[in-house]
Amino acid sequence: MKKVVSFGLSMLFVALSAFSAQAQSFESVVSTSFDAQTIVKGYTLSSDDSLMRLGIRPGTLNVETRVDIKTLDSSLMADALPEDRMLVGNIYLFDILNKTSYDGKDFFFLEIAYPQDTRVHGKRRISFYNKVKLRWEELPSQDHPKTSSVRALIHLPYARLAIFEETIPEVGQASWYGYRGCDCAASPDYPKGSSLVVERVDDPTKTVTVKVNDYGPDREGHPERVIDLDKVAFKKLAPLGAGVIDVRVRLLQ
């Protein structure tokens, strides 16, 4: 097994005239050669900045190959970034150069770390860039805030990868449920213990401050709902008979 770190400089020339103009973009590359012994043992590769890891299990590869992990300048894909999600960290690319070495039967482990912070954030997922559909597609991912990382599995021998964060919607619908008769709420975005100010969209004078003590509603089943209020809190905004009302939610710092 042989590991090489190199830095490549790619030049992109843009013709502003017959004689000029140029732009530069940088990438760092970590190359690892898998021989028969390494294939049997398996190996975990890391990007040059140590924030992205690719786990290859024993026997996943079949014949000798080189595996590259590149850390890309995000400006290279600026036009392809999704508008409804925010890029977190760098864009990475891994490549099993000898494609005959991978038959697709097993999977690779992915882990990408993100900057540590204390703010509440939207869901973070690892996505790969689909070159056929020309768009970023989510992988089944798990966000691990305690380690500030997202983990996923992938069945591809080549992929551009990145973490994208969903924005937390402020405006949407709220319903009510019977909990403990308190100014409390269930939220799909904010962790338990968060204090939120909820106000009616059509009458901002009607507000209530609630504490999150449950998860929900699930956005897959209720994409328009941003919060569920205990009936005591809901009645401070509208009669229970209203069922569902439009609200604005903000975090009380």
pLDDT score for 146: 80
Work out whether strand 149-154 and strand 141-144 pair parallel, antiparallel, or are unpaired: antiparallel
Confidence of residue 123 (pLDDT cuts 50, 70, 90): confident
The pLDDT tens digits for 131-159 are: 999 999 999 999 887 888 999 999 999 99
Confidence of residue 118 (pLDDT cuts 50, 70, 90): low
Pairwise pLDDT comparison (54 vs 25), residue with the higher score: 54
Confidence of residue 12 (pLDDT cuts 50, 70, 90): very low
pLDDT score for 9: 41
Give percent above pLDDT 90 in the chain: 66
Query: What's the average model confidence in pLDDT over 230-237?
Result: 96
Does 14 have pLDDT greater than 80? no
- Token pair for 54: 């690719």
Does 251 have pLDDT greater than 70? yes
CATH for 171-251 is 2.40.40.10
pLDDT score for 231: 95
pLDDT score for 71: 96
CATH for 2-166 is 2.60.220.50
For residues 142 and 106, give the distance between their C-alpha atoms in angstroms, rounded to a whole number: 19
Question: CA nearest 207: which of 188, 171, 234?
Answer: 234
Query: What's the average model confidence in pLDDT over 113-124?
Result: 74
In sequence order, which ranges of 175-239 are alpha helices (DSSP H)?
231-234
pLDDT score for 139: 96
Confidence of residue 30 (pLDDT cuts 50, 70, 90): very high
Confidence of residue 77 (pLDDT cuts 50, 70, 90): confident
Q: Where are the domains of the chain?
A: 2-166, 171-251
List, in sequence order, every beta strand (DSSP E) within the chain.
Answer: 2-13, 22-34, 43-46, 52-56, 65-72, 85-96, 108-113, 124-130, 135-138, 141-144, 149-154, 158-166, 171-177, 184-187, 195-200, 207-215, 225-230, 245-251
